């Protein structure tokens, strides 16, 4: 962590800018004293799919509006839709972020995997890499099987075979969609794929490591911007739950930044479901361990993992010459092409889809979560990245079964006394919520999450592109999730800005259901805090939209 920084003037407002480039997160926070910008923070810069020229325009806009300097960049977690912009190149081959000087880079403790890094983070990263490699192998095997001439011929000759083949192809495509978040491209998934030490998901890995690698390039040879300015190294800090970036750390007068997650608990990191907090699909993590073991196991090891007794195993080498010539021998019957459709040799790989989703959710649970507090008014802005239920639960869980005291808390010095601050306190004072994971059904906790956000000023931004989400996976991703979106509208009185459709209250309250409609005074007051770029871009569906939307949170 850097030495104490020179103090800014008192921060009186934060202008939150959400870029509308596509399915992905990119936010810029302008910390202001009256109307003067004192400090600039970028939170993520990525996009899942679509024309990357839009993301280039975003980075150019950040470069221009931030004057080529950003105080801190926050990289929340290693997913394509959050970090792919950091190693995006311009058309001349130069890295776009090489034009921006960055004072600090903030990452979660889970990214501290260097030789002198966090031991648990190192173990988790190694385990994650092996599992990701296993899933790529599984998908490669699956696609090799369903596209084999034998399989295609059998399916075409079988009743409903064509329908089954179509379903298999949709399943493979859905798995590709999930793996794409980790930067696994189609060219990586093929029958002869071989995992090397650096090849898997290299683009996203490079993006996440961009500032570490850039620091090394600066030390080795220096980096100059196109204007001739020499870039300085960016100080890299890894944050843990319970950490605090206060005025002495950032220089931000009137601001405390609290770090909630990711939890330093593997059980919480892998937790994807908790019915008391939010409805989620159940994932059997125990099954996953056997799945990954089976992928890399030798034949002997596979037999030891089998649920069947050894007496039911039979090897071709045990066949006699007489058996081989007998058409009624069970071995010959089993391998007869007429019975191909009955084989289940590759059915075990069907588990890969659920396990890919589980691994994707695990990465979401490693999200760096921040609460930004105005120390005078106590108002809080919550940025949860893509945190899923295990991350959320860790913020308010008790120290023990016999205690009601939360495990996570902060000791804050105020005047001449020390006070204790909890996550519950901060959630109850939240006036701005960056909705998690594009408002999916499994990334906003209910009882210990959204329902704790009781401020009458609550507003929200949702980085969602509903049409792009609807084209992903086998059946499309339902984002925003219907029940969550309805509750967000109720809690905010419609004070919501979406990446795809903009300000819900811009013109009227027709979209707001009865019982949640704001007064006209509330609508106008909200709109006075909302701004948008005069520059327009075209979405993936050729619809014009503003390059970005802004919302200003005042300390008053």
pLDDT band at 311 (very low <50, low <70, confident <90, very high): low
Choose the final residue of a domain: 298, 333, 358: 358
Q: Mean pLDDT over all residues of the chain?
A: 83
* Assigned domain for 465 exists: yes
Q: 269 lies in a domain?
A: no
The answer to whether 368 and 74 are in contact (CB under 8 A) is yes
Residue 324 sits in the same domain as residue 433: no
> Cβ distance 391 to 270 under 8 Å?
no
Using DSSP, state whether 405 is helix, strand or coil.
Answer: coil
For the chain, what is the domain count? 2
Confirm whether 311 is domain-assigned: yes
Average confidence (pLDDT) over 348-354: 56
Each residue's pLDDT tens digit, 382-436: 999 999 888 999 999 998 888 889 999 999 988 889 999 999 999 999 999 999 9
Q: Are residues 127 and 248 in the same domain?
A: no
Residues 285 and 431 in one domain: no
Task: Give the model confidence (pLDDT) of 432-471 as tens digits.
Answer: 999 998 898 878 988 889 999 999 999 999 999 999 988 8
Give, for 222, the enclosing helix (H) or strand (E). Answer: none
Task: Please give the pLDDT value at position 172.
Answer: 72
Q: 193 with 217, same domain?
A: no
Q: Are residues 38 and 163 located together in one domain of the fold?
A: no
Structural domain range at position 300: 119-202+281-358
Confidence band for 198, pLDDT divided at 50, 70 and 90: very low
For residue 250, what pLDDT is reported?
96
Q: How far apart are the C-alpha atoms of 294 and 490, rounded to whole Å?
A: 48
- pLDDT of 364 above 90: no
Which one of 358, 383, 413 terminates a domain?
A: 358
Tens digits of residue pLDDT in 99-136? 999 999 999 999 998 888 888 888 877 776 766 676 77
Q: Is 158 a member of any domain?
A: yes
Strands 530-532, 548-554: pairing is antiparallel
pLDDT of 273 = 64
Is there a single domain that holds both residue 186 and residue 330?
Answer: yes
Residues 484 and 548 reside in one and the same domain: yes
Structure confidence by residue, pLDDT tens digits, 249-274: 999 999 999 999 899 987 787 766 66
Q: How distant, in Å, are the alpha carbons of 80, 98, 200 from that of 86?
A: 10, 9, 18
Examine the domain organization and report whether 458 and 478 are in the same domain. yes
The secondary structure of 443-475, three-state, reads CCCCCCCHHHCCCCCCEEEECCCHHHHHCCCCC
CATH code at 427? 3.60.15
Give tens-digit pLDDT for 40-66: 999 999 998 889 999 999 999 999 999
* Measured distance CA(461)–CA(434) in Å, rounded: 5
442 belongs to a structural domain? yes
Highest-confidence segment of 199-213, 321-335, 501-515: 501-515
Domain identity same for 349 and 382: no
Distance in angstroms (rounded) separating the CA atoms of residues 48 and 98: 22
Q: Do 159 and 144 fall into the same domain?
A: yes
The confidence band for 510, taking pLDDT boundaries of 50, 70 and 90, is: confident
Residue 455 lies in a domain: yes
1 part of a folded domain: no
228 and 97 part of one domain: yes
Whether 333 and 392 map to the same domain: the answer is: no
In a domain, 491, yes or no: yes
DSSP reduced 3-state for 56: helix
For 142-170, what is each residue's pLDDT tens digit? Answer: 777 777 787 777 777 775 667 767 777 77
Q: What average pLDDT does range 521-526 have in this prediction? A: 96
With a threshold of 0.85, does the pTM exceed it?
Answer: no
Query: Residue 279 CB: number of other CB atoms within 10 A?
Result: 13
358, 381, 405 — which closes off a domain? 358
Query: Residue 314: CA atoms inside 13 Å, Cβ hemisphere, count?
Result: 10
Q: Is residue 8's pLDDT more than 60?
A: yes
């Amino acid at each position: 962590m850097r030495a104490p920084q020179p103090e800014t003037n008192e921060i009186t407002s934060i202008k939150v800018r959400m870029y509308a480039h596509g399915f992905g997160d990119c936010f810029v926070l302008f910390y202001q004293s009256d109307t003067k910008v004192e400090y600039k923070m970028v939170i993520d810069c990525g996009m899942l799919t679509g024309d990357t020229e839009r993301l280039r325009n975003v980075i150019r806009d950040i470069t221009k509006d931030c004057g080529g300097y950003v105080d801190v960049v926050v990289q929340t977690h290693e997913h394509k839709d959050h970090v792919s912009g950091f190693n995006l190149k311009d058309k001349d081959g130069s890295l776009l972020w090489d034009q921006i000087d960055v004072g600090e880079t903030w990452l979660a403790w889970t990214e501290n995997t260097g030789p002198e890094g966090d031991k648990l983070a190192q173990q988790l990263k190694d385990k994650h890499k092996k599992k990701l490699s296993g899933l790529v192998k599984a998908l490669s095997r699956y696609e090799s099987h369903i596209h084999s001439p034998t399989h295609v011929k059998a399916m075409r000759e079988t009743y409903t075979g064509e329908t089954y083949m179509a379903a298999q192809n949709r399943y493979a495509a859905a798995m590709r969609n999930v793996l794409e978040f980790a930067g696994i491209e189609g060219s990586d998934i093929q029958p002869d794929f071989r995992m090397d030490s650096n090849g898997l998901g290299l683009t996203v890995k490079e993006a996440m490591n961009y500032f570490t690698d850039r620091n090394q390039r600066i030390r080795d040879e220096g980096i100059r911007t196109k204007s001739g300015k020499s870039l300085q190294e960016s100080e890299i800090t890894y944050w843990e739950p319970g950490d605090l970036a206060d005025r002495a750390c950032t220089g931000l007068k009137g601001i405390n930044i609290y770090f909630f997650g990711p939890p330093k608990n593997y059980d919480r990191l892998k937790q994807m479901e908790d019915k008391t907090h939010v409805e989620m699909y159940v994932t059997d993590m125990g099954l996953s361990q056997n799945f990954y073991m089976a992928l890399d196991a030798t034949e002997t090891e596979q037999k030891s993992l089998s649920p069947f007794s050894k007496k039911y195993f039979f090897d071709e080498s045990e066949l006699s010459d007489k058996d081989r010539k007998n058409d009624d021998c069970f071995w010959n019957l089993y391998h007869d092409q007429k019975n191909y459709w009955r084989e289940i040799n590759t059915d075990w790989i069907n588990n890969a889809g659920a396990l890919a989703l589980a691994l994707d959710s695990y990465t979401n649970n490693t999200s760096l979560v921040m609460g930004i507090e105005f120390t005078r008014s106590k108002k809080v802005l919550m940025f949860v990245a893509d945190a899923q239920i295990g991350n959320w639960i860790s913020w308010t869980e008790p120290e023990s079964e016999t205690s009601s005291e939360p495990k996570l808390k902060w000791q804050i010095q105020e005047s001449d006394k020390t006070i204790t601050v909890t996550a519950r306190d901060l959630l109850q004072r939240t006036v701005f919520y960056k909705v998690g994971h594009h408002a999916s059904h499994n990334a906003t906790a209910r009882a210990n999450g959204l329902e704790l956000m009781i401020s009458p000023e609550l507003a929200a931004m949702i980085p969602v592109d509903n049409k792009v989400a609807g084209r992903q996976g086998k059946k499309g991703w339902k984002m925003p999730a219907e029940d969550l979106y309805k509750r967000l509208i109720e809690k905010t009185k419609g004070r919501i800005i979406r990446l795809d459709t903009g300000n819900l209250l811009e013109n009227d309250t027709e979209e707001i259901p009865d019982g949640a409609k704001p007064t006209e005074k509330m609508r106008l007051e909200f709109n006075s805090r909302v701004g948008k770029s005069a520059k327009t871009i075209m979405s993936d569906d050729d619809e014009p939209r503003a390059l970005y939307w802004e919302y200003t949170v005042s300390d008053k």
